[in-house]
A and B are shown apart, each in its own frame.
Chain A
Amino acid sequence: QSALTQPPSASGSPGQSVTISCTGTSSDVGAYNYVSWYQQHPGKAPNLMIYEVNKRPSGVPDRFSGSKSDNTASLTVSGLQAEDEADYYCSSFLGTHNIFGGGTKLTVL
């Protein structure tokens, strides 16, 4: 099973919005509403930001939102802040386990 496809990089200025895409297939992203997104700062463990496509765990700012259309999921970060600079990974359920995207490095200019 190949990894989900993410752009290697994305960027935006403080206060702007940026959207990161995650493309899979009809066997993963397109098949289940179990897409999650993780934020990872250097040297730290991943942190769940979005689950089940568009749900936020408690404590995650509402500046983070998720969506899905067919085989592509998206993470939008609105009102960019300096602390949002990190790597972001998408993940999709595959029937027995989850697979991950290759990751997107988000730079806040």
Chain B
Amino acid sequence: EVRLVESGGGLVEPGGSLRLSCAASGLTFSSYSMTWVRQAPGKGLEWVSSLSGDTTYIYYADSVKGRFTISRDNAKNSVYLQMNSLRGDDTAVYYCATDPAGGPDHWGQGTLVTVSS
């Protein structure tokens, strides 16, 4: 059974930084592209960033480009999202998901990021 567990969320002031982690199990992790998707309170799903299994391909939404960095450690079966220069509109639940060509399939339970002073 595939399991994804996010961690690292919390309360941060505007302009601050956070690093989210997502630990995967039950799959050959290095074979999977991974994606971060966020959901602001009461809003819909928004794609944030994706990273191929071998890190050859990395993509970011325009809303986070230059501020967020996605990375992975295949030896630790983990993917990360470094978030800098955080703004109020970054407040959301952040989900990691495995991402085959058809779109995200397995999702974690999410971690809440709140940007507020």
A interface residues (Cβ-Cβ under 8 A, vs B): 3, 34-36, 38, 45-48, 51-52, 57, 89, 91-93, 96-103
Contacts and interface: CB of A to CB of B under 8 A. Distances in A.
A91 B104 CA distance: 9
A57 B105 contact: yes
A96 B107 CA distance: 19
B26 interface: no
11 contacts: A36-B103, A46-B95, A46-B104, A46-B107, A47-B107, A48-B105, A48-B106, A89-B45, A91-B103, A92-B103, A103-B45
A41 B44 CA distance: 13
B47 A98 contact: yes
A96 B51 CA distance: 10
Contacts of A91: 45, 103-104
B97 to A, nearest CB: 8
Contacts of A97: 35, 47, 50, 59
> Chain B, interface size: which category?
20 to 34
Given A51-B103, A103-B45, 18 more contacts: A34-B102, A36-B102, A36-B103, A36-B105, A38-B45, A45-B95, A45-B110, A46-B107, A47-B107, A48-B105, A48-B107, A51-B105, A91-B45, A91-B104, A93-B103, A97-B59, A100-B45, A100-B47
